[in-house]
């Protein structure tokens, strides 16, 4: 495996996506925060600060998910549809290098996007004179990146076996189910449903472990203990690596 070739593919993905999409997403995020900061005092009363904190982080998550899911499910398929994949394969580039390069390029875009949105978010908090837990917000942003990396890995994995029309809803389903599987286990339901919930919990990622928005907004700056943070972070990284390994295995055996 050649790191130089992987880096070249990742860099090309990053440049193309930054040129085409990132500025529009950041502009839309600024519009959301500006509108929220202007309108909330009219409707929220004393809960203005808390609602702005919540909506700002929620918008950051949603925009990141849009990029991770819709771009992740099309990164490889667009090369197949345009037949440019045959050019890559004809060169001394292995399929594993191709998948890893595409994934790392998307990860770089998501990391940059979340970092820039976090800076914009903090600027608006300052402008609005809103008290906020700085450390908790930064930790929440880091774990959002890990969550988006995992979702991107799932999107790329699904895209190796299907087209974007099917890969997109499958990835969305992984996100929503991954956020509620732990809660489903506590429901008082039939044994068959309970077994299904346990199966989903064991197979699908528990994304609630990577969601620290509530800690940042409603925990009054409370930070989970370091052991929990490290364990959850490693969980997200391991799951992402496992999904990419599956994607490489499937893609390596696919015929074009």
* Cα distances (angstroms) measured from residue 186 to each of 190, 197, 198, 201: 12, 10, 10, 12
- Say which residue, 200 or 27, is predicted with more confidence: 27
Q: What is the pLDDT of residues 50-109, one digit of tens each?
A: 788 888 899 999 999 999 998 888 888 777 776 666 666 656 778 888 889 999 999 999
- Percent pLDDT > 70 in the chain is 79
What pLDDT does 245 receive? Answer: 93
What pLDDT does 226 receive? Answer: 82
Radius of gyration of the chain (CA): 20
Q: What is the pLDDT of residues 166-223, one digit of tens each?
A: 889 999 988 888 887 666 666 555 556 666 666 666 677 888 888 887 776 666 555 6
Q: What is the pLDDT of residues 2-11, one digit of tens each?
A: 778 788 888 8
What pLDDT does 186 receive? Answer: 63
Domain boundaries, the chain: 3-252
What pLDDT does 4 receive? Answer: 80
Number of residues that make up the chain: 256
- Say which residue, 210 or 142, is predicted with more confidence: 142
What pLDDT does 148 receive? Answer: 95
Q: What is the pTM of this model?
A: 0.87
* Cα distances (angstroms) measured from residue 16 to each of 52, 69, 73: 32, 17, 16
Q: Which residue has the tokens 């286990």?
A: 185
- Calculate mean pLDDT across residues 98-124: 92
Query: What is the Cα–Cα distance from 256 to 247, expressed in whole angstroms?
Result: 16
What pLDDT does 144 receive? Answer: 94
What pLDDT does 176 receive? Answer: 87
Lowest mean pLDDT among 96-105, 127-136, 182-191, 246-255: 182-191
Query: What is the Cα–Cα distance from 240 to 254, expressed in whole angstroms?
Result: 21
Query: What is the Cα–Cα distance from 87 to 194, expressed in whole angstroms?
Result: 49
CB 10 within 8 A of CB 104: yes
What pLDDT does 129 receive? Answer: 83
* Cα distances (angstroms) measured from residue 109 to each of 11, 119, 193: 10, 16, 39
What pLDDT does 214 receive? Answer: 75
Locate 23 and state its tokens: 């500025």
- Percent pLDDT > 90 in the chain is 30
User: Does the pLDDT of residue 128 top 60, yes or no?
Assistant: yes
What pLDDT does 200 receive? Answer: 64
Q: Per residue, what are the HEC states of 83-134?
A: CCHHHHHHCCCCHHHHHHHHHHHHHHHHHHHHHHHHHHHHHHHHHCCCCCCH
Q: What is the mean pLDDT of the chain?
A: 82
């Amino acid at each position: 495996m050649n790191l130089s070739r992987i880096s070249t593919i990742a860099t090309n993905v990053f440049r193309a996506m930054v040129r085409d999409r990132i500025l529009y997403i950041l502009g839309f995020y600024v519009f959301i925060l500006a509108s929220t900061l202007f309108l909330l005092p009219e409707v929220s009363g004393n809960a203005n600060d808390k609602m702005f904190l919540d909506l700002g982080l929620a918008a950051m998550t949603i925009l990141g998910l849009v990029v991770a899911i819709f771009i992740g499910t099309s990164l490889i398929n667009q090369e197949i549809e345009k037949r440019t994949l045959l050019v890559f394969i004809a060169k001394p580039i292995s399929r594993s290098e191709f998948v890893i390069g595409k994934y790392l390029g998307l990860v770089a875009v998501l990391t940059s996007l979340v970092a820039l949105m976090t800076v914009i978010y903090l600027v608006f908090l300052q402008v609005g004179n809103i008290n906020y837990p700085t450390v908790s917000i930064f930790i929440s942003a880091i774990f959002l990146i890990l969550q988006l990396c995992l979702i991107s890995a799932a999107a790329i994995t699904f895209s190796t076996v299907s087209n974007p029309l099917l890969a997109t809803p499958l990835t969305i389903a992984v996100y929503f189910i991954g956020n509620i599987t732990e809660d489903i286990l506590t429901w008082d339901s039939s044994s068959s449903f309970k077994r299904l919930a346990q199966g989903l919990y064991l197979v699908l990622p528990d994304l609630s472990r990577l969601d620290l928005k509530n800690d940042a907004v409603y925990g009054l700056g409370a930070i989970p203990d370091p052991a929990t943070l490290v364990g959850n972070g490693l969980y997200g990284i391991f799951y992402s690596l496992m999904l990419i390994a599956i994607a490489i295995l499937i893609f390596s055996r696919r015929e074009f």
